[in-house]
């Protein structure tokens, strides 16, 4: 039996039981082959093959709602709902998203990319069903550390008082991106290792069977005895007290047992939790051995697991970890905080070297920000590292706890900019949030040397600082930077043409490539490494404008609210200011390779060079808002197309 034979959920439910093992193996082979070619989330999906098959065998997704949290464990669900061809183009322009997507399939009931949202969303579906008199089942599959997320706990706290019927599947693989941390994780470990309980349960059952005459009558008490034993030996009372009937733990790779358990659970009523034990990376030798490495991976050799393209020697994540190790030795007050991703943010080496100065708080970005503010108020120097798209979940805490009190917390935002994972993970909105926060600075390094210098400089300040940078290559863009001064940009190349290209962060490398293309055509432009977004070097930009130059800003961020907007707002007193903004439109950008997205939105070095050539060959005319540019709508400089 092949996954190619499953074109709809009905095909799976009609399949004889004896053909399921072959299907499971074929699904795993498909996962490995596709992710090896396209990149994506491998370990989490290998771990839920049997669980997802069992869910689709028991529940009818044409009327029953299944919502996956976190969404990167939904690949098998996509395959079982007739999306094989699209899945083989995973994360490509015309292929499947790496996460549930309502626009992609009617069986993706809710889009989920960030952890901790599925229980709340599923509870909304359950409440709507109750209000309209429906009878479909609602299932939330909670996994990869999402139980410890504050929003998950808030939703679970409201389950019993909101709905009469709800099924929560806890996919317990002891991992989020990195190994789970915190009291809830230890609680679940005690459940799993409750050998005393299991021995006691078996002993009681055997004893009852041996009692003559009254044995059958005593069997009716076994369920009560089972419940009492759980209360004695296992910490499942946490769920029971919240109104959830606890069932488990269940072997998540025993398909017959899973199917039977879910079928029985589907016949029950009331909120219930099924605790399923899975192995992240199951069935793939190298993914099981290194589940964190293959949580989210670039293309690799499916036989060996070796990456097809080696990682850059210098990355921003690695630079952060290395620099913090040096800085902590100089100042022991420096502590590092992350939200469930020490490897992804480059802090794993710091954690190993200085375990007493490292805190992984799990998937709890808001708590991490307030925790960091508390550390700062107590005289420590906290540095919180998180992905830019996830930092948005902590925006209120950054404002309320760090900015209002002017506490010196450094927020390092990795993966800032467009990424292959799509709209839930593009880190292109956060500057618009930060620019409204008082007492907050935003810095963006062009390379590893810039980042190291910015970390040192930020530690001399007495207010919160955001340092944001993209994933990947952080190789030097210049042989030697000018010394970093607070609020000052640096001119990397001074040209004779009346255009200055102000690049923000790693876009500096793109700007230098565009400048080289122009130089080959006899046009020498000025290239500026902005370095600071808030505050930015308004003095230098004003001087260049007064010299008759047109300013072109280039950023890996949404145009509205980003660096270009800040520059235009700051220099609005200059009537004939010529500032052209290049960046991403205010739109839901799709998933796809970053190179492809840049081509689509005219943000490659070639297209940027062509835009600048166009500016130089026409006479700028003032726009209605006081800025100068030929009468072309601003967005046409990025793209006239929308996703």
Q: Over the stretch 450-494, which tens digit does the pLDDT of each residue have?
A: 999 999 999 999 999 999 999 989 999 999 999 999 999 999 999
Q: Over the stretch 126-167, which tens digit does the pLDDT of each residue have?
A: 999 999 999 999 999 988 677 877 788 888 888 888 998 999
311 counts as catalytic? no
- Contact (CB, 8 A) for 281 and 293: no
Tokens encoding 51: 């669980």
Rounded CA-CA distance 201/81 in Å is 40
What is the pLDDT, as a whole number, of residue 232?
A: 47
365 counts as catalytic? yes
Q: So where are the chain's domains?
A: 3-190+252-289, 316-468, 491-637
What is the pLDDT, as a whole number, of residue 631?
A: 29
- The catalytically annotated residue of 365, 490, 493, 507 is 365
Fold topology of 491-637? Rossmann fold (3.40.50)
Tokens encoding 567: 């520059």
Is the backbone of residue 39 left (phi > 0), alpha (psi -120 to 50) or beta? left
The residues near 349 (Cβ < 8 Å, ≥ 6 apart) are: 321, 322, 325
Beta-strand pair 245-251/270-277: parallel
R_g of the chain computed on alpha carbons: 27
Phi, psi (rounded to 5 degrees) for 520: -65, -20
Cβ density class 423-455: b for 16+ within 10 Å, e for less: bbbbbbbbbbbbbebeebbbbbbbbbbbbbbbb
Query: 309, exposed or middle or buried, with CB in 10 Å at 0-12, 13-18, 19+?
Result: exposed
Rounded CA-CA distance 176/188 in Å is 14
Q: Which CATH architecture has domain 3-190+252-289?
A: 3-Layer(aba) Sandwich (3.40)
584 sits in which H/E element:
strand 579-584
- The catalytically annotated residue of 57, 83, 280, 468 is 280
CA-angle at 231, arms to 227 and 232, nearest 5°: 115
Give how far Cα 101 sits from Cα of 95, 98, 280, Å: 12, 9, 23
Task: Return averaged pLDDT per consecutive 10 residues of the chain, 643 residues in all.
Answer: 88 92 94 91 91 95 92 90 91 84 90 85 94 94 79 88 92 61 49 46 59 60 54 62 87 93 93 91 88 83 86 91 97 95 92 95 91 97 95 93 97 94 89 95 97 97 97 93 96 95 97 96 96 96 93 95 94 78 91 89 94 79 31 29 28
What is the pLDDT, as a whole number, of residue 238?
A: 74
Fold topology of 316-468? Rossmann fold (3.40.50)
What is the pLDDT, as a whole number, of residue 71?
A: 78
Rounded CA-CA distance 485/627 in Å is 29
Tokens encoding 138: 């609602």
- The catalytically annotated residue of 28, 129, 393, 600 is 393
610 counts as catalytic? no
């Amino acid at each position: 039996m092949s996954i190619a034979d499953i074109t709809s959920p009905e095909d799976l439910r009609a399949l004889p039981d004896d053909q399921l093992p072959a299907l499971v193996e074929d699904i795993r082979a498909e996962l490995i082959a596709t992710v090896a070619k396209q990149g994506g989330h491998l370990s989490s999906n290998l771990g839920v093959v049997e669980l997802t098959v069992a869910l689709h065998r028991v529940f009818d997704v044409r009327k029953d709602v299944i919502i996956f949290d976190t969404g990167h464990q939904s690949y098998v669900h996509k395959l079982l709902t007739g999306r094989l061809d699209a899945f083989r183009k995973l994360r490509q322009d015309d292929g499947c998203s790496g996460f549930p997507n309502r626009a992609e399939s009617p069986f993706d009931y809710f889009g989920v990319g960030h952890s901790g949202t599925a229980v709340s969303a599923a509870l909304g579906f359950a409440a709507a069903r109750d209000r309209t008199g429906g009878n479909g089942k609602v299932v939330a599959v909670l996994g990869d550390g999402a139980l410890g997320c504050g929003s998950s706990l808030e939703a679970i706290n409201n389950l019993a008082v909101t709905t009469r019927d709800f099924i929560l599947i806890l996919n317990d693989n002891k991992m989020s991106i990195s190994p789970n941390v915190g009291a809830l994780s230890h609680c679940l470990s005690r459940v799993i290792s409750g050998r005393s309980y299991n021995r006691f349960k078996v002993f009681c059952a055997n004893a009852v069977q041996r009692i003559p005459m009254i044995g059958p009558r005593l069997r009716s008490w076994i369920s009560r005895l089972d419940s009492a034993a759980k209360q004695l030996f296992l910490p499942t009372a946490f769920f029971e007290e919240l109104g959830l009937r606890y069932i488990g733990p269940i072997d998540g790779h025993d398909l017959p047992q899973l199917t039977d358990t879910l079928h029985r659970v589907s016949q029950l009523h009331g909120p219930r939790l099924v605790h399923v034990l899975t192995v992240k990376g199951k069935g793939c030798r190298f993914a099981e051995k290194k589940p964190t490495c293959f949580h989210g991976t670039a293309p690799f050799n499916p036989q060996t697991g070796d990456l097809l393209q080696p990682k850059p020697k210098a990355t921003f994540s690695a630079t952060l970890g290395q620099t913090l190790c040096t800085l902590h030795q100089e100042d022991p007050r420096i502590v590092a905080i992350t939200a469930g991703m020490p490897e992804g943010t480059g802090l794993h080496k710091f954690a190993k070297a200085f375990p007493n100065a490292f805190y992984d708080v799990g998937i709890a970005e808001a708590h991490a920000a307030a925790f960091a503010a508390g550390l700062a108020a107590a005289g420590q120097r906290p540095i919180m590292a998180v992905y830019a798209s996830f930092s948005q979940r902590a925006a209120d805490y950054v404002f309320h706890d760090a900015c209002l009190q002017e506490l010196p917390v450094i927020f390092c935002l990795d993966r800032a900019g467009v990424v292959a994972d799509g709209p839930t993970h593009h880190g292109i909105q956060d500057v618009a949030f930060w620019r409204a926060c008082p007492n907050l600075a935003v810095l963006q390094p062009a390379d590893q040397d810039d980042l190291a210098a910015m970390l040192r400089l930020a530690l001399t300040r007495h207010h919160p600082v955001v340092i944001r940078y993209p994933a990947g290559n952080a190789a030097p863009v210049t042989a030697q930077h000018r010394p970093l001064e607070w609020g000052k940009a640096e001119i990397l190349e001074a040209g004779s043409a009346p255009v200055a290209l102000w690049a923000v962060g790693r876009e500096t490398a793109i700007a230098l490539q565009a400048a080289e293309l122009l130089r080959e055509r006899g046009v020498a432009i000025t290239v500026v490494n902005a370095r600071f977004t808030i505050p930015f070097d308004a003095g230098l930009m004003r001087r260049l404008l007064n010299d008759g130059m047109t300013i072109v800003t280039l950023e890996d961020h949404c145009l509205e609210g980003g660096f270009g907007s800040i520059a235009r707002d700051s220099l609005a007193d200059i009537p004939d200011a010529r500032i052209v903004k290049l960046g991403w439109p205010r739109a839901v950008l799709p998933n796809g390779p970053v190179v492809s997205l840049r081509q689509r939105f005219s943000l490659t070095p070639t297209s940027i060079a062509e835009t600048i050539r166009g500016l130089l060959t026409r006479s700028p005319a003032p726009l209605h808002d006081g800025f100068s540019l030929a009468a072309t709508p601003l967005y046409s400089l990025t793209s006239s197309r929308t996703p």
